[in-house]
Structure 1
Amino acid sequence: MITTTQPVSARIWMVKSEKENSFSKKEHYALRDIRSVDGINPRKPLPDFNLTIKGQLYQLYSNTSEEKEFFIRQLFKFSNDNLPIQKPEFVNVSLPVDTLPSKNGSVNEENFDGDSKTAAELDTNYQPISLKEENDFRHLLEKANLQIGQARQFSSSLNDQLSQLDSANLSSIMENEQNVAELIGLIDTAIELAECVEKQLDVYDTLLSFVRDSVELIEEKDSLRHIEQQNNKKLATELEDFVYQLEMSELNSMQAYHSRIEMLNKITSEFVDRFYAHISTIFGNMDSMLENQHIGEIIMQKHSQRHRALLPFSDLISWLKQTRPNIYKNVLDRYNIEAQKLYKKEFDRFFSELATREASSLTNNNWKNSSNNLINEQNIELIETAVAECRVVVESEQKFCIRFFHLNTDVISQLDSEFNNKNVALKRLSDEQMNQIENSFSKISITKRQRIGILDTIGRFGSLAKSSIKIFAESERKVDLDKWLEKLTIAIIIGIDNAAESPNSKCPASVVRMENFHAFYSILSELKIPCLDARRKEVRQKYQENVTIYVREMLGRPLEKIHNFFERIERLMENGISPQEISYEQQFSRIELKRVTTAYPAKEVKKGLENLYKKIEKHLSSNDSSLLQVVWRQMQEEFLNQVKHYQQLISKCYLGSKIELEVGIEDILQFFSEIAQKH
């Protein structure tokens, strides 16, 4: 605030915010009391700054960085205008700034009653016109034939001329209306282009703002790097001076010094020997430091108590590593030997408990009658328990060894490398095992003549798939497992085909394929593995194709005479004889038709179907009744299609003869149903 009275006085007020956006004056200071203004960081737009008034530091905050800069600029201007001496010091601010214009050494006056006057209103000095302005004025009077005293006439003349010029201007505008419209269009286009340029400039400005921030950050880092280099140089110089001052080359040759050093070395050697003997004894008694554990628990022994007992010697081990590397290596070897004995005993106990638990669980579940799924789940549980317990013990021992023996990262990286090598070897071993399984699935050999039935490879695949999916469901090798499952699926399909074509098989090839593809399709449907959906559809198609082949092979021509009779009729019709002329042929007369149809009474047809059902039961070795039902239903459909075809030919070639087969559609359906229920 600047006073309006003379002499001019500038003050800065501290105000306090009240309710309803009102403020109350708290305290004020003279402008000359301000000692310094600190903008904190000129490169970053921060809203906070510091004022030092009468030796006291005030930390102030503005709403935005722009408000802070405006306040500092105004403070700088007022200081230049009102303080000839004892101006405040401005640090960490963007300078120079524009100063307020001053007139005759005075400042702008501002009252707080709301009334203000401009500089033009305050200036009452008279300024006469120039000589050129006077000559121009007289020239206008002469042109209008008027005198200086005729001001009213001169004003009227000027108004008339102005009206004429306005009329001429309007006429010109009306005449050039089209040009004006074009000009306005060009102006609008120019405005649009200018807006596009402004938008592009805004984009560039945004990009440059990021560049500016990056440059400021680089400058800041570079400044810190220079400071670090200077500090390092100064530190190196100081260390060189200090080491130079510590050099005692002349004192080292003194007899007292040598004798003292020998005595200290002897004491150190004695201490090292005693410490090595003591720590070796402790390592030998590590089994007594373990926590108590109940017999029969399937958990690894906790070694935290042993680790806590040994950790107080960690500093001495570090001292040995630096001063006596050979003794340190001996201590490390001694610990390895004793720890190996301790963990061997513990692992033997742990895996013995696992084996005992596995045997008892199999006995309780009557493993001879239990399913493979239950056994596999129990085995997976035991494996997960063993891996989890061993992992906890190994991680705990590794952390202890790193801390106790002060092992560096090279040793840990070597262990990680060894672990990765073991993983690669294990993956290679798994791939070899899967290759062997794949070969055993695809290369099916039948050594002697026998009924093949359901191949054991199908059941082995189901057990392997279920257990492996449960184990590797969340593993990183899930992708590899999916690939191997697809390979094994293809191998089983190849194995089924090889078994079906074996010369030692007693069953038809279609029966072997039908049974095995049906069983394999059931297992794939039960597993519901997404990566095997395409193979599952392929197996289902092969199963249906072989069912059709088997039905046609077994059913054949149950009404052979009727079939041969109508086959010859179809051959005549293909040669161009119409259906109405067929009955006039002697060998295809109605009498011959009657003789052929009566050759297969209902009793004989039913007996033939019963024999056919028994053959199917004999061929199908599995106890799956669903497959038998599917085959029998397919037989029924095939037989019905043949009978319907014969009836169509009779109605077409022997119209009105009223000759029918001895068995109809209803009879056939009844025969098939009774035979299925009977068996």
Structure 2
Amino acid sequence: ATALRHKDVFNPQNERLLEIIHVWKTGRKRKNSILCVVVAACRPMQLFLEKVKKADRGDQYKMTDRWPLKDLKLVDGKNVNQECLEFELQFDKVYKWTAVSADEKNAFIRCLWKLNRRYLSSSIAFVSTPSCILEEVGNASAEAGDQAEHSAYQEMTPKETADMLKLMEEYEPIVNNSMAFAEKLSKDLQVLDESNLDLSEKHRQVLSRGDLSSPSKVKACIAAAEALSSCMNDLLFLLFQGNGQVPSRMQQASELISSTHGPYHDDLLPYTPLMAWLKNANPILFHDLPKVYAWNLSRLYEREIKAFFELARMLAVGQGLICKWGTQRNSIPSPPPNYQFLGWGFPSHLWAKSSQMLEQVLRELQPLCIAEQRFIEQFFMLSQDLYLPVSFCHPVHTFLADPLPEQLCPNLLSVCDTYSRLEEQPTQLLSEIFSSLEPELRGFIDTCNKVQQFSCLQVLVTLNDYMFEMQGSSAATSSSFLNVVLSNILLLAKNNFNKCISDQIAKIEEAKVPSRAKGGILPFVSRFEEFVNFSEDVFRWAQQRGELDKAHTKLVGSVFINSLASANLKVNTDMVMMENFHHIHCFLYQKKIQCLESKRREAKQRYHEHLERYVTKYLGQPLEKLNHFFEGVKARVAQGVKEEEVSFQLAYSKQELRKVIEKYPGKEVKRALDTLYRKIHKYLSPEENLLPVVWRAMEQEFIQQYQEFENLIQHCYPGSGITMDFTMEDLLNYFISITQSSM
């Protein structure tokens, strides 16, 4: 069958079959397919994973899917247990399969492991894979290497040694001459390069005098300027060449440090007087120089910034862990059960590390932007244009006291407009030089946000604190361009944060009580508690927390529901609401969040309201008929019947009252109270420990009801001698006995 598949499917494609595995999609109806690892017969070598199915009729096979192995990111063995048949392959999306046998699965993973190490530079991450499989591959490779090494080594015979030495002696003069020639050529080229970088003394004198009084002297100045321009071009070329290796050097570093161009700035600044001369001599040419400089430097900075952020991403979440678990998944402990809602993609130490790395990225970018801004302002004399002319500075102090002369208005407005445009020039130039900075920074923020569901909080705090620190710094330590970029990034972080809060509110509003729920703390209340705990921990040392206070207010408003659908509840809704509002009140009292103090008081009030409703609902159950009888008596009195005449009504006569009282002897009342206690104990959640509170409230209400019954008997049935079968003292003993028996 394998030969048939090879002949029908792979030979026409000029491919060779390496490994196969029979599988079906996990969690679906079993429909067998075959995954094949194949290699294309072309150069360079190309590896593919192909999915093959058998035709409905006949013995023909056809290929249905095809993926390049270089796009495979992750192989998940699902379980270190070798008997597990399920596994996952992650390309652009995750494919879940179940193997027919464990042997086929192990052989398939072993084949992928070998190809990954030999041809794919170990770019595929293997997780939850039995170590014995990989050890077998490693041992087999080591043994093959040792055999190859032993077979490759063979000692030369004495005759072969003599012949080799003779041959080397014959060609030794030629080799020596070629080495000497190469060394001399290298020195000559170095001398030529250095001579090209030096400006002759004659040209220096011509440029120093700057004499343009005659045509011959103008030609000499032009020649000297062209020679100087040639030297500067060579210098810039070497500058670019020297920095071309920066990305590779940065990727090899274990510490995040931005590149510095300070030495090259120092080399170019001595030519500033020449730039001043060029500005006066040819303003059009001078106007284009900053654009040329920005265009050339942008390509260099693009490479450096890309390498800088690649290293930052690797240091932030670890190599192979960027947005995925990667190869370190087995070494990461499982998150605690109460944080399942947070959707932790990584453990806490990784998102804390990503936050620290974001702060370090910002601190590395600041001196880079400041140095470049200072250089272009000084070298291209942009800072000199940022000041108003002196003739307009003198009368400024009188503007507030005296009216502005009409003839001065047009000139002053023109100068102010020029000043505004010139102030934007360095920022615009830097935006061209660092054109890739903001997109790369946005990508890095995106990586930090993917560490776990609420990483956007940590990103917002870090950016807020850094911007707050920059606002308090002097103008000499800030960059107008960087301020604009960080303002845009801060706006992005706030939008991400607001979107996160909106998602949480939507989840709370759409949350439904689980089917046949028995009460307890509702899921969305637990979610709110987890979010507040996490956010308060993140914002503990934050300089500003206005955004968080707004988010807390919105979230708690969605948690304070007014009613619950009782269809899915097996218990009283007032009991569930009572427990949840009690839980919210205790939690907010513990956190002591200023903006939620009013909500804490509201939670306490609503807790007492639902407690009262719950107690009132269950109060009549122990003495249901007696309670119903006296409710009728109170209704007659409310309708205008005199209290002493109630007993003359047939339904509420003394005989009827005695019949009802006889149904509730003391023993029966105690049994009914005990049943009620057990029912309350069954449905109240033990986490809130509200049973003593509810039972105490029940006792007080019951005693108050007993006193009300006794009062109605005295007023409506005077002189009848009718009394309850149990006294107040008996009732208190019933409650004490029930409480003690349950302890």
TM-score of the aligned structures, taking structure 2 as reference length: 0.48
State the Cα deviation string for residues 2-59 of structure 1 (Å, max 9, x = none). xxxxxxxxxxxxxxxxxxxxxxxxxxxxxxxxxxxxxxxxxxxxxxxxxxxxxxxxxx
Matched AA of 2:269: D
Aligned to 2:724: 661
Q: State the alpha-carbon separation in 2 of the partners of residues 462 and 362 from structure 1.
A: 30
Q: 1:315 aligns with which of 259, 263, 269?
A: 269
SS in 1 for 2:723: coil
Alpha carbons 1:372, 1:463 under 8 Å: kept: no
Structure 2 residues without counterparts, runs of 5 or longer:
1-208, 279-285, 383-425, 431-478
1:484 to 551, 572, 593: 551
CA 1:505/1:596 → structure 2, altered by over 3 Å: closer, same or farther?
closer
Q: Distance in 1 between matches of 2:611 and 2:570?
A: 18
Q: Which amino acid aligns with 1:629?
A: P
Measured after TM superposition, the shift of residue 319 of structure 1 is: 7.9
- Displacement after TM superposition at 1:347 (Å): 1.0
Are 1:438 and 1:488, in contact at CA under 8 Å, matched by a contact in 2? yes
Are the equivalent residues in 2 in contact too, given 1:380–1:467 (CA < 8 A)? Answer: no
1:508 aligns with 2:568: no
- Which of 278, 281, 285 is the matching residue for 2:245? 285
Change beyond 3 A, Cα 1:356–1:425: closer
- The yes-or-no answer on 1:542 pairing with 2:606 is yes
State the match for 2:356 in structure 1.
Answer: 385
Structure 2 partner of 1:613: 677
Map Cα deviations across residues 258-281 of structure 1 (whole Å, 9 max, x no partner). 3x4565355335423432332122
* Amino acid of the structure 2 residue aligned with 1:497: N
1:91-128 deviation per Cα after TM superposition (whole angstroms, max 9, x unaligned): xxxxxxxxxxxxxxxxxxxxxxxxxxxxxxxxxxxxxx
Change (3 A) 1:325 1:441: closer
Residue 627 (str. 1) matches residue 690 (str. 2): yes
Tell me if the contact between 2:670 and 2:734 (Cα under 8 Å) persists in the aligned partners.
yes
Q: In the alignment, is the contact (CA less than 8 A) between 2:317 and 2:354 conserved in 1?
A: no
Quick check: 1:291–1:301 contact (8 Å CA) kept in 2?
no
Instruction: State the partner residue of 2:29.
Output: none
Is 2:224 aligned against 1:264? yes
Structure 1 residues 269 and 578: alpha-carbon distance in aligned structure 2, compared to 1, 3 A threshold: closer
- Stretches of structure 1 lacking an aligned partner (at least 5 in a row): 1-244
Q: Please name the residue that 1:603 is paired with.
A: 667
Q: Does 1:497 align with 2:452?
A: no
Look up the match of 1:518. Answer: 582
Asked if 1:344 corresponds to 2:309, the answer is yes
SS at match of 1:497: coil
For 1:572-583, list aligned pairs within 5 A: none
Q: CA deviation at 1:533?
A: 1.8
Equivalent pair of 2:525/2:559 in contact (CA under 8 Å): yes
Q: Which has the larger radius of gyration?
A: 1
Please list, as runs of the form range in 1=range in 2, the aligned pairs for 1:16-415 lying within 5 A after superposition: 248-249=212-213, 251-252=214-215, 254=216, 258=219, 260-261=220-221, 263-264=223-224, 267-286=227-246, 300-303=255-258, 310-315=264-269, 328-329=293-294, 331-353=296-318, 367-368=335-336, 381-382=352-353, 384-404=355-375, 406=377, 409-410=426-427, 411=430, 412-415=479-482
Distance 1:319 1:632, change over 3 A: farther
In structure 2, what is the equivalent of residue 551 of structure 1?
615
Superposed CA offset, 1:286-317 (max 9, x none): 46987997x6xxxx53458x556555434268
Provide Cα deviations, 1:354-407, integer angstroms capped at 9, x if missing partner.
998999999798743677999998577445423331222111222332345557
Which is further off, 468-477 or 541-550?
A: 468-477
Change (3 A) 1:512 1:302: same
The corresponding residue for 1:76 is none
Q: Distance in 2 between matches of 1:576 and 1:596?
A: 24
Cα distance in structure 2, aligned partners of 1:582 and 1:301: 92
Change in 2 beyond 3 A, CA 1:319/1:457: farther
CA distance in 2, matches of 1:601, 1:440: 53
1:419 aligns with 2:486: yes
- Alignment correspondent of 1:438: 505
Report how many residues are paired. 421
Larger RCO (alpha carbons 8 Å, 6+ apart): 2
Cα distance in 2 for partners of 1:331, 1:400 equals 17
SS of equivalent to 2:689: helix
Q: CA deviation at 1:343?
A: 0.7
Aligned position for 2:733: 670
Residue 422 of structure 1 deviates from its aligned partner by 3.1
Aligned AA (1:519):
H
What amino acid maps onto 1:313 in structure 2?
D
The residue identity in structure 2 corresponding to 1:278 is: L
Aligned match of 2:42: none
Question: Which amino acid counterpart does residue 370 of structure 2 have in structure 1?
Answer: K
Q: Whole-Å Cα distance in 2 between the matches of residues 658 and 369 of structure 1?
A: 64
The one-letter code of the counterpart of 1:315 is L
2-side partners of 1:631 and 1:540: how far apart? 15
Per the alignment, do residues 574 and 609 of structure 1 end up closer, same or farther by CA in structure 2, a change over 3 Å counting? Answer: same
Alpha-carbon distance, 1:649 to partner: 3.1
Q: Distance in 1 between matches of 2:362 and 2:233?
A: 36
Q: Name which of structure 1's ranges 588-597 and 608-617 shifts more when overlaid on structure 2.
A: 588-597
TM-score, normalisation: structure 1: 0.52
Mark the CA change 1:317 to 1:459 in structure 2 (over 3 Å): closer, same or farther: farther
- Cα distance change, pair 675–492 in 1 and its aligned pair in 2 (3 A): same
Structure 1 residues 670, 383: closer, same or farther in 2, change over 3 A?
farther
Post-superposition CA distance 1:138-159 (Å, at most 9, x none):
xxxxxxxxxxxxxxxxxxxxxx
User: CA offset at residue 605 of structure 1?
Assistant: 1.7
- Kindly indicate whether the alpha-carbon contact (under 8 Å) linking 1:314 and 1:403 is maintained by their aligned counterparts in 2: no
State whether residues 610 and 675 of structure 1, in contact with CA within 8 Å, keep that contact through their aligned partners in structure 2: yes
AA partner of residue 240 (structure 2): S
Change (3 A) 1:560 1:330: closer
Query: Which shifted more, 517-526 or 426-435?
Result: 426-435
Residues 509 and 558, structure 2, Cα contact 8 Å, conserved in 1: yes
Q: Distance in 2 between matches of 1:276 and 1:329?
A: 12
CA distance in 2, matches of 1:379, 1:676: 50
Q: Could you tell me whether the CA contact under 8 Å between 1:291 and 1:302 is conserved in 2?
A: no
Change (3 A) 1:326 1:379: closer
Give the match's secondary structure for 2:686: coil
- Give the deviation of 1:424 after TM superposition: 2.8
Q: Percent of counterpart pairs with the same letter?
A: 25
- Tell whether the 8 Å contact from 1:280 to 1:334 is kept in structure 2 after alignment: no
C-alpha distance after superposition, 1:481-524 (max 9, x if no partner): 3233222222111xx335x1354333333223222222222222
Contact map agreement 2:522 2:580 (CA 8 A) in 1: yes
Q: 1:468 matched to which residue of 2?
A: 535
